[in-house]
């Protein structure tokens, strides 16, 4: 049995976790804070990078310049609606975002979000493991593989899950430590 499809699914879970971490507001300006925000523009729903240029002016400031200046109000509204604890300032031709310093309460909130994302990622890994185990069991029941091959497949899937769990735990620990460091 080829375990590469399960490995690809587990890598998607890790990629999801990393993507979620990039969008966390951790007291520094980053384009990834706003890249996934959908804006109801006059010509349909689009992500901010599709309708504007995002610039990091300094470690605490983002500047979003829409190509169509009429969209600044829609961008400002979308950022408010995203509940990222950001306060965009509409300067008519662009939107400025000053990234506030993190308070201890905000650090605790972010750490809770990290834990929720961690649990979601672990659930994705468990589901992938279950799928792999069902597949190898079905192959055994259909007499397509031997008992030894079945045991080998189960061991390979378990090893893969353990490896990805370790990766996820390390990522979460690093991000939590980064957030809680004052």
Please check the confidence at residue 58 and state whether its pLDDT lies above 60: yes
Report pLDDT for 103.
83
Q: What contacts 24+ positions apart, CB below 8 Å, involve 41-50?
A: 41/68, 41/71, 41/74, 42/68, 42/70, 42/71, 42/74, 48/75, 48/78
What is the pLDDT confidence band of residue 182, given thresholds at 50, 70 and 90? low
Q: Half-sphere exposure of residue 31, counting CA atoms within 13 Å on the CB side?
A: 12
Q: Which domains does the chain have, with CATH numbers?
A: 4-21+103-180 (1.10.132.20), 28-98 (3.30.1360.40)
List pLDDT tens digits, range 112-147. 989 999 999 999 999 999 999 999 999 999 999 999
Better-scored residue on pLDDT, 68 or 27: 68
Rounded to 10 degrees, what is the CA torsion of 157, 161, 167, 172? Answer: 170
pLDDT at site 25: 67
State mean pLDDT over 171-181: 88
- Identify the CA nearest to 165 among candidates 105, 113, 124: 124
């Amino acid at each position: 049995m080829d375990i590469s499809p399960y490995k690809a699914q587990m890598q998607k879970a890790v990629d999801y976790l990393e993507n979620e971490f990039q969008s966390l507001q951790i007291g520094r300006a980053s384009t990834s804070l706003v890249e996934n925000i959908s804006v109801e523009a006059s010509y349909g729903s689009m992500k901010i990078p599709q309708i504007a240029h995002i610039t990091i002016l300094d470690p605490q400031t983002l500047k979003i310049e829409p190509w169509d200046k009429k969209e600044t109000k829609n961008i400002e509204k979308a950022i408010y609606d995203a509940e990222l604890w950001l306060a965009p300032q509409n300067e008519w031709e662009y939107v400025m975002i000053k990234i506030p310093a993190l308070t201890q309460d905000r650090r605790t909130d972010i750490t809770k979000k990290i834990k929720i994302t961690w649990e979601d990622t672990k659930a994705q890994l468990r589901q992938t493991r279950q799928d792999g185990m069902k597949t190898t069991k079905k192959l055994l029941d259909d007499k397509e593989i031997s008992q030894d091959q079945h045991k080998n497949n189960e061991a390979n899937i378990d090893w893969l899950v353990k490896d990805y769990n370790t990766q996820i735990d390390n990522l979460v620990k690093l991000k939590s430590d980064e957030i809680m460091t004052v």
